[in-house]
Amino acid sequence: MSIERHDTRLDRFVDNYAERTNGMRVSAVRALFAVANRPEIVSLAGGMPNIEDLGLQAIADNVSRLIRDHGAKVMQYGSGQGEPEIRERICEVMALESILAHPDDICVTAGSQQGLDLVTRVFCDPGDVILAESPSYVGALGTFLSYQCEVVHVPSDEHGISPAALRETIARLQADGKRIKFLYTIPNFSNPSGLTQPMQRRREVIDACNDGGVMVVEDNPYGLLTLETLPQPAMRAIDPEVIYLGSFSKIFAPGFRVGWVLAPHGVREKLTLAQESATLCPPVFSQFAIADYLEHYDWQKQIVAFRDMYRGRRDAMLEELADAMPDGVSWTQPKGGFFVWLTMPEGLDSQAMLPRGVNARVAYVPGAAFYADGQGAANMRLSYCFPTAERIREGVRRLAGMIRSELEVHEIFGTDFRHPQGSHVPGPSPDLS
């Protein structure tokens, strides 16, 4: 037996896991992504921001001074709620989207993903329902499922969630005795659809939720990365009881892992207790480094520079899609953020096609990843955030060629190419963020 006891490759703990753990699976998509990281492949899959143009020397000098002059404080344990210095700065950031907030109503998190985790932890028992856009962020779906929640997608149109469908869904689920905990929505440049709710739509969605007694959780990592207009007021600016998730990952840098939740006071208190149980305190040094960046660096000018850079990349993607894609393929026209949502003719399956995509040296995220219920086979998420405009154009051309030959095969043989096992939601992963 000593071989078995010392070979850590055999999982003798397999019967010991919690029920929630049985739902955790390494997705086939992720295995392919490992391959997709090869340099010859154009990845339109990742959601990594391009931070090459940050002023590294200035940031380095500031962080160096911070450690030299305040090291014993900024490298020490901190507050479970997050440091007051950064919570005050976060209010200034949110003011750009018309949010009036008090620093005491903010709970700092280890990235916005942890905000999702803590909100779900505080509110959701197994079997509770969470409403989500259709499609919705893969990382949120993974977290909701890890808390054994049921995700119900609300049909959406080109302006995001349909208020009529939302009211109908709430009424139907409540009539069935379901306990709906909240609506999860990304109103600006949604991940993955790229779509944005206009102001009127935001009000209608909030009203529908308030009438049904359903909380709204607004996730807004991309709001300031608007490419055409000024930022719109957040849903939280319309209704102060909306729970709001923010992040520095896209307007500064993700590696510090600092996000936040703005919530009504009682909820914020619970979130802080949950944060203490989860990590004692969110990354302290990171918080001071970002507060320092916001104080000593022209961060708003940096956001304008990010906008210009992403606008060029988005335009490259949209132009090349228009030039290269065969008839029958359609896609969204994002006005900000990182993503285009592409729809192929019925019968094609983006997940089954992924290996052939990698063969054609292009990667994307199959649409099924963004649904908890098996939809999305004909969709894919394309991101324009990380590769250069030239690489994006090359990637789109490769993708178009691949779709074209799939369509030919499909036309000749009429086969249903869908993945035989159906689709499933992979866990969230930095590659998919």
Residues 260-319 that bind its own copies (CB under 8 A): 264-267, 269-270, 273-274, 276-286, 288-289
Asked if residue 229 binds its own copies (CB under 8 A), the reply is no
Stretch binding its own copies (CB under 8 A), from 2-10, 297-305, 322-330, 387-395:
2-10
Strands 362-363 and 379-383, how do they pair?
unpaired
Selection from 267, 266, 217, 270 nearest residue 246 by Cα: 217
Sequence-separated (6 or more) residues with CB below 8 Å from residue 408: none
CA 63 to chain CA mean position, Å: 28
Q: Which of 37, 64, 98, 200 binds its own copies (CB under 8 A)?
A: 64
Which phi and psi (to 5°) does residue 13 adopt? -90, 5
Q: Which of 33, 45, 80, 129 binds its own copies (CB under 8 A)?
A: 80
Closer CB to its own copies, 271 or 380, in the complex: 271
Q: Which of 29, 43, 79, 202 binds its own copies (CB under 8 A)?
A: 79
Stretch binding its own copies (CB under 8 A), from 32-40, 123-131, 158-166, 331-339:
123-131
Sequence-separated (6 or more) residues with CB below 8 Å from residue 48: 254, 385, 386, 430, 433
Q: Which of 117, 150, 320, 349 binds its own copies (CB under 8 A)?
A: 117
Closer CB to its own copies, 11 or 158, in the complex: 11
Closer CB to its own copies, 215 or 400, in the complex: 215
Closer CB to its own copies, 102 or 172, in the complex: 102
Asked if residue 198 binds its own copies (CB under 8 A), the reply is no
DSSP string, 235-292: HHHH-TTSEEEEESTTTT-GGG--EEEE--HHHHHHHHHHHHHHHSSS-HHHHHHHHH
Number of H helices, E strands in the chain: 15, 15
Tell me the residue length of the chain: 433
Minimum Å gap between C-beta 390 and its own copies is 19
Rule CB under 8 A: which of 378-407 touch its own copies?
none
Closer CB to its own copies, 70 or 172, in the complex: 70
Minimum Å gap between C-beta 205 and its own copies is 17
Minimum Å gap between C-beta 263 and its own copies is 8
Asked if residue 417 binds its own copies (CB under 8 A), the reply is no
Q: Which of 43, 114, 190, 197 binds its own copies (CB under 8 A)?
A: 114
CA 98 to chain CA mean position, Å: 22
Selection from 144, 130, 89, 81 nearest residue 108 by Cα: 81
Asked if residue 241 binds its own copies (CB under 8 A), the reply is yes
Asked if residue 227 binds its own copies (CB under 8 A), the reply is no
Rule CB under 8 A: which of 200-219 touch its own copies?
215
Encoding tokens for residue 20?
């929630």
Closer CB to its own copies, 8 or 415, in the complex: 8
The whole-angstrom separation of Cα 213 and Cα 129 is 13
Phi-psi region of 160 (alpha: psi -120 to 50; beta: other; left: phi over 0): left
Q: Which of 60, 95, 199, 304 binds its own copies (CB under 8 A)?
A: 60
CA 281 to chain CA mean position, Å: 23
Q: Which of 3, 19, 346, 421 binds its own copies (CB under 8 A)?
A: 19
Half-sphere exposure of 290 (CA within 13 A, CB side): 32
The whole-angstrom separation of Cα 315 and Cα 401 is 20
Asked if residue 128 binds its own copies (CB under 8 A), the reply is yes
The whole-angstrom separation of Cα 236 and Cα 243 is 7
Asked if residue 67 binds its own copies (CB under 8 A), the reply is yes
Evaluate whether 278 touches 114 at the Cβ level (below 8 Å): yes
Stretch binding its own copies (CB under 8 A), from 77-85, 160-168, 189-197, 324-332:
77-85
Stretch binding its own copies (CB under 8 A), from 236-244, 356-364, 376-384, 388-396:
236-244
Closer CB to its own copies, 75 or 322, in the complex: 75
Rule CB under 8 A: which of 131-190 touch its own copies?
139, 142-143, 146, 181
User: How many residues contact its own copies, by CB under 8 A?
Assistant: 96
Selection from 193, 197, 191 nearest residue 137 by Cα: 191
